[in-house]
Chain A
Amino acid sequence: MSKDKKLNYTVTSQGSLGLLALGDIGIKLWRDAVKDNPKNKRVKPKNQNEQN
Chain B
Amino acid sequence: MSKTKRSKVLLIGWDAADWKVIDPLIQQGKMPALKGLIERGVYGKIQTLDPPLSPMLWTSIATGFRADKHGIGGFVEPNPDGTGLRPVTSTSRKVKAIWNILHHKDLKSNVVSWWPSNPAEPINGVMVSNHYQVASKPIDEEWEMPRGTVHPKAMSEDLKQWRVHPNEITLAMTLPFIPNLEKDEELRKAKRTSGVVKVIANAASVHAVSTNLMRTTDWDFMAVYHDAIDHFSHLAMRFHPPRRPEIDEKEFEDYKNVVESGYRFHDMMLERTLELIDEDTTVMLISDHGFHSDHQRPKYIPKEPSGPAVEHSPYGIFVMAGPGIKKGGQRVSGASILDITPTLLAHMDFEVGQDMEGKVLHGVFEQTKEVNMIPSWEEVSGDFGMHDPDLMEDPWQAMEALQQLVDLGYIDEIGDDKLLAVEKAKRENQYYVARNLINAKKWNQALEILERIFEESKITRYGQRLAFVYLSTNKLMKCQSLIDELRILEKESSLENKKEALKKNPNDPFGNADYEEPMYLDFVEGLLNLKINKPKKALPILEKVQKKNPNNLQVAVNIGKILNQRKKYQASEKQFIKALAIDNRNAQAHHGLGVSFLRRKMYAEAIEEFFAATEENFFIPNVHYHLGEAFYKTGYFNEAEQAFSVAVSLSPGMARAHKWLVDLYEHKLQQPEKAAKHEIFLNENIKGDLHIVSGVPGSGYQDFLKMLEENHLDVVVNKKSASPETRYVTGESKKIKEHLDWLAYQKGRIIYIAPQYLSQLPPDYNYKFIYFEKALADIIDSSIEKAGKTNKKKILSLKKLNQLESEISKIEIWMESQPLLQIMVVEYDGFKKDPKPTVEQLKTFFE
* Nearest CB of chain B from residue A13's CB, rounded to whole Å: 8
Of B9-17, B161-169, B651-659, the segment with at least 4 beta carbons within 8 Å of chain A is B161-169
Interface assignment of B371: CB less than 8 Å from any CB of chain A: no
B136 contacts A51, CB within 8 Å? no
Q: How large is the interface on A (under 10, 10 to 19, 20 to 34, 35 or more residues)?
A: 20 to 34
Instruction: Find the A residue at minimum CB distance from B165.
Output: A48
Interface assignment of B408: CB less than 8 Å from any CB of chain A: yes
Which listed residue (A1, A40, A46) contacts B277, Cβ 8 A?
A1
B211 contacts A43, CB within 8 Å? no
Which of chain B's residues have a CB closer than 8 A to the CB of A21? Answer: 207, 265, 268-269, 271-272
B170 contacts A15, CB within 8 Å? yes
Q: 0/1 per residue, A5-41, Cβ < 8 Å to B?
A: 1000000111111101111111100000000000011
Give 9 closest A-B pairs by Cβ, nearest first: A23-B211, A52-B407, A21-B268, A45-B194, A24-B212, A14-B172, A47-B138, A20-B204, A51-B194
Most chain B beta-carbon contacts within 10 A, residue among A27, A41, A45, A49: A45
* Nearest CB of chain A from residue B574's CB, rounded to whole Å: 44
Which of chain A's residues have a CB closer than 8 A to the CB of B208? Answer: 20, 23-24, 26-27
Which of chain B's residues have a CB closer than 8 A to the CB of A5? Answer: 272, 275
Instruction: Find the B residue at minimum CB distance from A42.
Output: B170
Which of chain B's residues have a CB closer than 8 A to the CB of A42? Answer: 167-171
Interface assignment of B215: CB less than 8 Å from any CB of chain A: yes
B167 contacts A45, CB within 8 Å? yes
A5-B272, A45-B166 known; A20 and B207 CB under 8 Å? Answer: yes
Which of chain A's residues have a CB closer than 8 A to the CB of B278? Answer: 1
B181 contacts A48, CB within 8 Å? no
* Nearest CB of chain B from residue A38's CB, rounded to whole Å: 11
A42-B171, A51-B166 known; A23 and B403 CB under 8 Å? Answer: no
* Nearest CB of chain B from residue A2's CB, rounded to whole Å: 6
State A16–B174 Cα separation when bound (angstroms): 8
Which of chain A's residues have a CB closer than 8 A to the CB of B173? Answer: 14-17, 20
Most chain B beta-carbon contacts within 10 A, residue among A2, A5, A24, A47: A24
* Nearest CB of chain A from residue B607's CB, rounded to whole Å: 44
Which listed residue (B164, B188, B272, B403) contacts A43, Cβ 8 A?
B188
Instruction: Find the A residue at minimum CB distance from B33.
Output: A21
Interface assignment of B108: CB less than 8 Å from any CB of chain A: no
State A15–B170 Cα separation when bound (angstroms): 7
A-B pairs with CB below 8 Å: how many?
124
Which of chain A's residues have a CB closer than 8 A to the CB of B181? Answer: 43
State A20–B268 Cα separation when bound (angstroms): 9
B275 contacts A3, CB within 8 Å? yes
Q: A14-B171, A15-B172, A20-B265 are in contact. List 11 more A-B contacts (CB 8 A).
A: A17-B200, A20-B204, A20-B208, A21-B268, A23-B211, A48-B400, A51-B194, A51-B198, A52-B194, A52-B195, A52-B404
B170 contacts A41, CB within 8 Å? yes
* Nearest CB of chain B from residue A37's CB, rounded to whole Å: 11
Which of chain B's residues have a CB closer than 8 A to the CB of A43? Answer: 169-171, 174, 181, 188, 193-194, 197
Q: How large is the interface on B (under 10, 10 to 19, 20 to 34, 35 or more residues)?
A: 35 or more
Instruction: Find the A residue at minimum CB distance from B261.
Output: A17
A43-B169, A43-B170, A44-B167 known; A27 and B200 CB under 8 Å? Answer: no
Instruction: Find the A residue at minimum CB distance from B193.
Output: A43
B265 contacts A48, CB within 8 Å? no
State A43–B184 Cα separation when bound (angstroms): 11
Instruction: Find the A residue at minimum CB distance from B172.
Output: A14
Which listed residue (A14, A20, A44, A49) contacts B400, Cβ 8 A?
A49
B188 contacts A24, CB within 8 Å? no
Q: 0/1 per residue, B276-312, Cβ < 8 Å to A?
A: 1111000000000000000000000000000000000
State A21–B9 Cα separation when bound (angstroms): 21
Which of chain A's residues have a CB closer than 8 A to the CB of B195? Answer: 51-52
Interface assignment of B418: CB less than 8 Å from any CB of chain A: no
* Nearest CB of chain A from residue B208's CB, rounded to whole Å: 5
Which of chain B's residues have a CB closer than 8 A to the CB of A41? Answer: 170-172
A24-B211, A41-B171, A43-B174 known; A48 and B137 CB under 8 Å? Answer: yes
Instruction: Find the A residue at minimum CB distance from B406.
Output: A52
A1 contacts B275, CB within 8 Å? yes
Which of chain B's residues have a CB closer than 8 A to the CB of A22? Answer: 211, 272
Interface assignment of B209: CB less than 8 Å from any CB of chain A: yes
Which of chain B's residues have a CB closer than 8 A to the CB of A15? Answer: 170, 172-173
Interface assignment of B274: CB less than 8 Å from any CB of chain A: yes
* Nearest CB of chain B from residue A21's CB, rounded to whole Å: 4
State A13–B173 Cα separation when bound (angstroms): 11
* Nearest CB of chain A from residue B202's CB, rounded to whole Å: 10
State A35–B197 Cα separation when bound (angstroms): 21
B198 contacts A45, CB within 8 Å? yes
Instruction: Find the B residue at minimum CB distance from A24.
Output: B212
Interface assignment of B191: CB less than 8 Å from any CB of chain A: yes
Which of chain B's residues have a CB closer than 8 A to the CB of A52? Answer: 191, 194-195, 198, 404, 407-408
A1-B277, A25-B211 known; A51 and B162 CB under 8 Å? Answer: no
Q: 0/1 per residue, B722-758, Cβ < 8 Å to A?
A: 0000000000000000000000000000000000000
Most chain A beta-carbon contacts within 10 A, residue among B134, B193, B207, B400: B207
Instruction: Find the A residue at minimum CB distance from B203.
Output: A20
15 contacts between A and B (CB under 8 A): A5-B275, A17-B261, A20-B164, A20-B204, A21-B271, A23-B269, A26-B272, A42-B167, A43-B181, A43-B193, A46-B194, A48-B137, A48-B400, A48-B404, A51-B194
Which of chain A's residues have a CB closer than 8 A to the CB of B198? Answer: 45, 48, 51-52
State A22–B265 Cα separation when bound (angstroms): 11
A21-B268, A21-B272, A24-B215 known; A48 and B171 CB under 8 Å? Answer: no
* Nearest CB of chain A from residue B70's CB, rounded to whole Å: 29
